[in-house]
Amino acid sequence: MTVTVAHPALEPGRVGGLSTSNRLVVAPMTRVSAAPDGTATPEMAEYYAEYARGGFGLVITEGVYTDAVYSQGYLNQPGLVSERHVSAWREVTAGVHEAGGSIVAQLMHAGALSQGNPYRDDTAGPSAVVPQGVKMPEYGGHGPWAAPREMSPDDIRQAVDGFVASAVNAERAGFDGVEVHAANGYLLDQFLTDYTNLREDSYGGPIAARVRLTAEIVAAIRAEVGPDWCVGVRVSQTKVNDFRYRWPGGAHDAEVIFAALAEAGATYLHVASEGRNWLDSARLDRGLTVTGLARRVSGLPVIANGGMHDADLSAQVLADGHADLVSVARAALVNPDLPRRLAEGSAPVSFDHAMLSPMVTLDNARRWRLAAGADA
């Protein structure tokens, strides 16, 4: 006999006008498995539909590049900049919808952290600052980062236009919304970060100026898609190339960021932990958590991230008002049926890093499953 377990993450969720069957979200995860021209593949359609069949209420895609200039971060990253891209994504969204799920496209500009872009040989960012660390082999990169070119006002306008055009393309492709990627060290986070943004114009200086570009993009998308379509924003303190970084102004900086994004017209806020447990990354000064503060300041639904496959932790985060939904990344890779496991009280399969080795592709994940004796 199947036992059904009561858990707050299994209750219906809502982000703006978008209703979800539960409050479990698949977090965006780079898979570098698109065609060389950025077109989504049938394998990707099956990959995303599997999460919906497994019971996830909302699926957020991997970062999708937004223009044919500087935005692409990885070779074989999917895009949303051509008719071919739009057509292929329609197959993906249809599969998720047929399985009863909702799907949001994460829109991403890599900025200085681009390590594979067939459109350009150089990179661009807020300032000509060499990124910390080295490129990531699991995503096809090797060696040190190059110094980016400081973006001109025209470059910034081009980036904004790319986000807007890609959002319109996402709507045409059948997505239920978009998530503006302002986290994890990529372009918009580079503008938010004090040591990568040394600008002296209206996009640099105090935190209210450094968040301006993200807010402008959200407002521009909102003006184009109307008041009801879902336009989320993902933010983080930590980065793929700097796990220690925290907003220097602590709760003050967080309040300024969250208020600006809400005023710009965001539907929800998604606070990423960059592979860290929520308990480790969410604490701010004055006994606050970054997700709880985001809820209070913005008045928007908030998605918490970081170890949320742990049933006790996710229950605490939701029940204590730290977030409205929870997102799961690597645990979802090995447990695409995690919501069903949670409902049945079954322990999730432990994540094995070999699933992402030597690269984070769907092909390598399939090989891992075959070796582990799971269905392909």
Tell me which residues are annotated as active site: 186
- The CA-atom distances, in angstroms, between 136 and each of 73, 240, 304, 360 are 11, 9, 25, 11
- Residues 153 and 261 sit within 8 Å (Cβ to Cβ): no
Distances (CA, A) of 214 to 78, 99, 183: 21, 33, 10
- Report the half-sphere exposure of 164 (CA within 13 A, side-chain side): 19
* 318: Cα separation from own chain's centroid: 20
* Of 44, 34, 140, the residue nearest 77 (C-alpha): 34
CB 218 within 8 A of CB 265: yes
Report how far residue 224's alpha carbon sits from residue 226's, in angstroms, rounded to the nearest whole number.
6
- Residues across the chain: 376
Cα–Cα distance measured from residue 123 to residue 27, given in angstroms and rounded to the nearest whole number: 26
Q: What angle do CA 56, 61, 64 make, to 5 degrees?
A: 175
CB 180 within 8 A of CB 232: yes
Pairwise CA distance, residues 105 & 168, whole Å: 11
